[in-house]
Amino acid sequence: MIADSCFIIDLIRKSQSALKKLDGLKETRQLQYITSPTVMELAVGVALAALPINEQKRVDEILSGFQIIPLDTTSAWRAGIEIGRLRKKGKIVDPIDGQIAGIALQHDETIVTRNARYFQHFKNLKIELY
């Protein structure tokens, strides 16, 4: 299971649906991952926060329960191929979402998100909503 940035943000905000989903994942002993592009997205949020030190502590606390999967060459290649395929069809995809999808595809993992529309066009990508 790969956590999308919205899932991490919702955990930080103590969203009941996100907390319930996390509890369910822990019960099934599913490994919990986050991608390096998601870490970058969270860092942007920290930099923009009114109280960045407090926000950094909250992010670090949540991230301590996740393993980070980096964007390696193979995952980047898969992301690029998929983004190109979608652009040919007239669908514009955020490159960060493409990178997250490429990592998930390469590692045969499911993305947990509340924003399925960002990932729904990626071929063979598994998405789970919360």
The pLDDT of residue 30: 81
Q: What is the bridge-based pairing of β-strands 33-35 and 2-3?
A: parallel
Identify the weakest region by mean pLDDT among 6-15, 22-31, 57-66, 103-112.
22-31
Is residue 125 very low, low, confident or very high in pLDDT (cuts 50, 70, 90)?
very high
CATH code at position 122: 3.40.50.1010
Does pLDDT of 31 surpass 90? no
Whole-model pTM: value is 0.91
Query: DSSP letters along the chain, please?
Result: -EE-HHHHHHHHTT-HHHHHHHHHHHHTT---EEEHHHHHHHHHHHHHSSSHHHHHHHHHHHHTTSEEEP--HHHHHHHHHHHHHHHHTT----HHHHHHHHHHHHTT-EEEES-GGGTTTSTT-EEEE-
The count of domains in the chain is 1
Does pLDDT of 66 surpass 90? yes
Domain of residue 15, residue span: 2-129
Mean pLDDT of 21-41: 92
Mean pLDDT of 75-100: 97
* Residue 105, phi then psi, degrees to nearest 5: -65, -45
